[in-house]
């Protein structure tokens, strides 16, 4: 491991806004892979990790935390929590939040597979999935699969919103198919956010997320968003609610082969 990463890991230990539980703290080994037990912070985020009690918005797979931080600065009436497994990426967001004394920002280093260990029912108001890995060949690893939606439902408040912003048409269409298969309330869906948002969809989106959030949707661009837009990919956006308690079903109507065939190659530029 390079010195840069080791230095970031060491600095991470000093950031009060960054929680880095060990897997052993939340894994229940007697009950199988990714079976979890409650972490001590569950139900206490507003008391322990933020400067005041406010609705909590999660970003899953936040990378360097640009989206979490930008949303938090635009909207001080909510608390924002970025989650990722990569400590060297989280370092950037945690350092910025610490240096700028952002009381409404926190970060959690964990695998999203264990996410339900950390939140009490209703503790989270919204979830953002920003440029998640589409996991083209592993449905159960996809962050909008029934397996993950069941996890989120355990802590998302009634009426809470899941937002997906992605360059992957495959992931967008798959997620839309899951929403339709399960009759989940669909709040917004566009396969071309930048093409539509300035025209007909802006008012529809604003009624879902508010004007500020629509501004953020088109003006906050993460590392991966910039990279994929530069390669000519359209950015898609989907927002839905996760109400109900029936088991979430896999989407029977999703044509995986077709959407796989139109998914173009990505060129990845390395980040830390
Ligand atoms: C393609 S990057 C997107 C990062 C950021 N949202 C952006 O737009 O720049 C996906 C991120 O999700 C994280 N990630 C992927 N699978 C994860 C998992 N199962 N648990 C935690 N983090 C995960 C990766 O570490 C990576 O930082």
167 located within any domain = yes
Query: In ligand 1, which atom is closest to the CA atom of 86?
Result: 25
In a domain, 7, yes or no: no
- Please state the φ and ψ torsions of residue 241, each to the nearest 5 degrees: -105, 160
Half-sphere exposure of 48 (CA within 13 A, CB side): 13
Judge whether 196 lies within some domain.
yes
* Number of the ligand 1 atom closest to the C-alpha atom of 133: 1
Query: Relative to the CA of 223, which ligand 1 atom is closest?
Result: 9
Is 109's C-beta closer than 6 angstroms to any atom of ligand 1? no
> At 246, which CATH number?
3.40.50.150
Looking at residue 201, its pLDDT comes to: 58
Q: Is residue 268 part of a domain?
A: no
Q: Note whether residue 224 is domain-resident.
A: yes
Q: Whose CA is nearest to atom 24 of ligand 1?
A: 61
Residue 15 domain flag? no
Range of the domain at 67: 34-262
pLDDT digits (tens, 9 = 90+) for 163-188: 999 999 999 999 999 999 999 999 88
Check if 223 has its Cβ closer than 6 Å to any atom of ligand 1: yes
In this structure, is residue 24 part of a structural domain? no
What pLDDT does 30 receive? 77
Query: Could you identify the residue written with the tokens 């953002």?
Result: 128
E runs forming strands in 169-258: 186-190, 236-241
- Residue 194 CA to ligand 1 centre (angstroms): 23
Q: Exactly one of 38, 70, 133, 215 is catalytic; which is it?
A: 133
Number of folded domains that form the chain: 1
3-class SS at 169?
A: helix
Ligand 1 site, residue 240, Cβ cutoff 6 A:
no
The pLDDT value recorded for residue 198 is 57
The whole-angstrom separation of Cα 103 and Cα 80 is: 9
Mean of pLDDT over the chain: 91
Specify whether 133 is catalytic: yes
19 falls within a domain: no
């Amino acid at each position: 491991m390079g010195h840069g990463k080791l230095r970031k890991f060491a600095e991470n230990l000093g950031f009060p806004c960054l929680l880095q539980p060990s897997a052993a703290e939340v894994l229940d080994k007697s009950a199988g892979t990714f079976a979890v037990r409650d972490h001590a912070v569950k139900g206490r985020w507003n008391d322990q990790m933020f400067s005041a009690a406010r609705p909590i918005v999660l970003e899953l797979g936040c990378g360097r935390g640009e989206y979490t931080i930008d949303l938090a600065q635009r909207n001080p009436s909510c608390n924002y929590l970025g989650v990722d497994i990569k400590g060297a990426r989280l370092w950037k967001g945690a350092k910025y939040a610490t240096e700028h004394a952002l009381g409404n920002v926190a970060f959690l280093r964990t695998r999203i597979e264990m996410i339900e260990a950390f939140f009490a029912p209703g503790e989270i108001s919204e979830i953002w999935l920003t440029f998640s890995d589409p996991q083209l060949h592993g449905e159960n690893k996809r962050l909008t699969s029934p397996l993950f939606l069941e996890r989120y439902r355990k802590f998302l408040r009634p009426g809470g919103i899941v937002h997906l912003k992605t360059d992957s048409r495959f992931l967008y269409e798959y997620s839309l198919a899951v929403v339709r298969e399960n009759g989940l309330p669909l709040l917004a869906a566009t396969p071309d956010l930048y093409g539509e948002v300035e025209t007909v969809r802006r008012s529809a989106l604003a009624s879902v997320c508010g004007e500020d959030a629509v501004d953020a949707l088109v003006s906050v661009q993460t590392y991966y968003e910039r990279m994929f837009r530069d390669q000519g990919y359209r950015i898609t956006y989907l927002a839905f609610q996760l109400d109900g308690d029936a088991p979430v079903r896999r989407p029977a109507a999703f044509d995986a082969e077709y959407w796989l065939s139109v998914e173009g190659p990505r060129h990845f530029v390395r980040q830390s």
